[in-house]
Amino acid sequence: MAIGAASRLPGQSPSIGDLVRSDGPTFSFEFFPPKTADGELLLWQAIRELEPLQPSFVSVTYGAGGSTRDKTVEVTERIATETTLLPMGHFTAVNHSVAELRHMIGRYAGAGVRNILALRGDPPDDPLGEWQPHPDGYSYAYQLVKLIKESGDFCVGVAAFPEKHSRSPDLETDVRHFVAKCRAGADFAITQFFFHWQDWARLRDAAAAHGCDVPVVPGVMPVTNVRQIQRFAQLSGTEFPRDLAERLLAVADDVEAVRAIGVEVATELSAKLLAEGAPGIHFYTLNRSTATREVWQNLKVSAEAGPAARGGGRLTAAG
């Protein structure tokens, strides 16, 4: 088993959809655009520390209401031109007209970015508030998928929700929305973070029952801050397991202890997902590299030890 990037020649921009369907699971990271000079330093430190792992791709998020639109494109372009990494830019419908959306697609194309993650996005002032579409914009992610696909040779990813989207009335409705995005032309999907592998497997099987075979890459977030993950879970509707919360709260003031537990849990979850056939793991790094590097190393050691006992097999960064 190999985790990592397929090799690419200078000037090439591989399709992430092709990568996640190829042999061996992919390994990818997500970053967010910084808002301060200190944040900028932390981001690029994390990027440089994670680059040697040769991930299959990396993604750059898009702030609520388009608040980091320009910064997202700037960071994505820098990654494309100043590193060996394959970047994917995020793209949301919030507060944007169709004309503005077309302009953003052009900016990505101009930066040589051909992989885009299409998301409807959350309301900018209150992520849990009522959704209000732009009067000249779109209301659904599947419309974004169609727009991007009609605009050129782009590979488009979409979001998936193992525990259903917080706004969906039930899982079946959420699965139908997901399948609609896939039928609109999505090449792959990346999930919201979660803690139970069974939720990912259930989503995969439910989509398959609708005739959808789009690869669903699970998103994993190594916990490094207890209160932060509690807030994220609340906003996303993700279940934060009680036993994990108790373990973390017991050592909440010990940064190293919290990270150790987070790495342990993320390693176990990632290993189980890969064993269950996940096409890869997408790590939410929160612009920090240590925990993600530790999980990667654990997976690498585990995969090398297992096949060695059977007389073959290996796990590498480059795949």
Residue matched to tokens 């993600």: 292
Quote the longest CA-to-CA distance of the chain.
62
pLDDT tops 60 at residue 266? yes
Selection from 18-22, 302-306, 310-314 with the highest mean pLDDT? 18-22
Q: Which percentage of the chain shows pLDDT scores above 90? A: 65
For residue 188, give the H/E element and its range.
Answer: strand 188-193
Residue 114 in any domain: the answer is yes
For residue 216, give the H/E element and its range.
Answer: strand 216-220
Residue 98 in any domain: the answer is yes
Q: What is the pLDDT of residues 71-104, one digit of tens each?
A: 888 899 999 999 999 999 998 888 788 999 999 8
Residue 316 in any domain: the answer is no
Residue 167 in any domain: the answer is yes
Q: What is the pLDDT of residues 28-51, one digit of tens each?
A: 999 999 889 999 999 999 999 999
pLDDT of the residue at 70: 79
Q: What is the pLDDT of residues 200-257, one digit of tens each?
A: 999 999 999 999 999 999 999 999 998 888 888 887 888 899 999 999 999 999 999 9
Residue 177: which CATH number?
3.20.20.220
pLDDT of the residue at 318: 35
pLDDT tops 70 at residue 56? yes
Give the range of the structural domain holding residue 125, as residue numbers without chain letter. 16-310
pLDDT of the residue at 176: 95
pLDDT tops 90 at residue 312? no
pLDDT of the residue at 5: 40
pLDDT of the residue at 23: 67
Residue 89 in any domain: the answer is yes
Number of Cβ atoms within 10 Å of the Cβ of 72 = 26
Which comes out higher in pLDDT, residue 115 or 66?
115
Both structure tokens of 210: 């609708």
Q: What is the pLDDT of residues 140-166, one digit of tens each?
A: 899 999 999 999 999 999 999 999 887
pLDDT of the residue at 184: 96
pTM of the model: 0.88
Angstrom distance (rounded) from CA 96 to CA 107: 15
Cα angle at 74 between 68 and 75, to 5 degrees?
85
Number of domains into which the chain is organized = 1
Residue 9 in any domain: the answer is no
Which residue in 30, 77, 163, 294 is the catalytic one?
Answer: 30
172 belongs to the catalytic site: no
Residue 126: pLDDT band (50, 70, 90) is low
The H-assigned helical ranges of the chain are 16-21, 37-50, 69-82, 98-110, 141-150, 171-183, 197-209, 226-236, 242-250, 255-275, 290-310
Residue 283 in any domain: the answer is yes
Residue 319 in any domain: the answer is no
